[in-house]
């Protein structure tokens, strides 16, 4: 039984560490592009379920580490449910509520009211960050380990040395 637990730890712990790294980079891609476009973020979470660690920074963003380390998410302001896709009536109600509480023009800070091209870039930033991570890891590994390159050989056998010819001297 202890052998099984030891073997499971050898495989499960590194898997969870690598998955956590990949998820963190993925979610940071969404986060950085959203912040670059001025979208308000409520929560950045790695893992699901009840929060194990949580801290709120000066921008009001809750940085959270969840109990189940199998994913993560960035919760933008105005996300009401898990699908993050309100209907037209919900968008109108959200816009009215934001305008009433924060003033006119405040809806520009919310993901759902950004132009389509900005929303598309925010959504695509997560997978793009994973590509950058993969390229970085492979470049790092190849710079340390390298790739074995064998020079090409024309013939399969050993090359024989030709006997040297003596230069003939003219007769005197």
Active site residues: 27
Query: What secondary structure does DSSP assign to the chain, as a single string?
Result: -HHHHHHHHHHHHHHHHHHHHHHHHHHHHHHHHHHHTT--EEEEEEEEEEEEEEEE-TTSPEEEEEEEEEEEEEEETT--STT----HHHHHHHHHHHHHHH-TTGGGGSGGGS-HHHHHHHHHHHHHHHHHHHHHHHHHHHHHT----PPP-S-SSPPPPPPPPPPPPPP-
């Amino acid at each position: 039984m202890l052998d099984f637990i030891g073997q499971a730890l050898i495989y499960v712990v590194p898997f969870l560490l690598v998955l956590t790294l990949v998820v963190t980079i993925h979610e940071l891609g969404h986060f950085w592009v959203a912040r670059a476009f001025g979208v308000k973020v409520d929560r950045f979470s790695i893992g699901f379920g009840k929060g194990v660690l949580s801290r709120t920074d000066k921008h009001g963003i809750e940085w959270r580490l969840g109990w189940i380390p199998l994913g993560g998410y960035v919760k933008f302001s105005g996300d009401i449910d898990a699908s993050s896709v309100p209907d037209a009536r919900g968008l109108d109600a959200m816009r009215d509520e934001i305008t009433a509480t924060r003033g006119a023009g405040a809806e520009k800070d919310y993901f759902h009211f950004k132009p389509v091209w900005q929303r598309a870039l925010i959504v695509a930033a997560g997978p793009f960050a994973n590509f950058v991570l993969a390229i970085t890891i492979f470049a790092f590994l190849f710079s340390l380990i390298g790739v074995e390159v064998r020079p090409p050989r024309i013939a399969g056998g050993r090359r024989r040395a030709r006997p040297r010819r003596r230069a003939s001297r003219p007769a005197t």
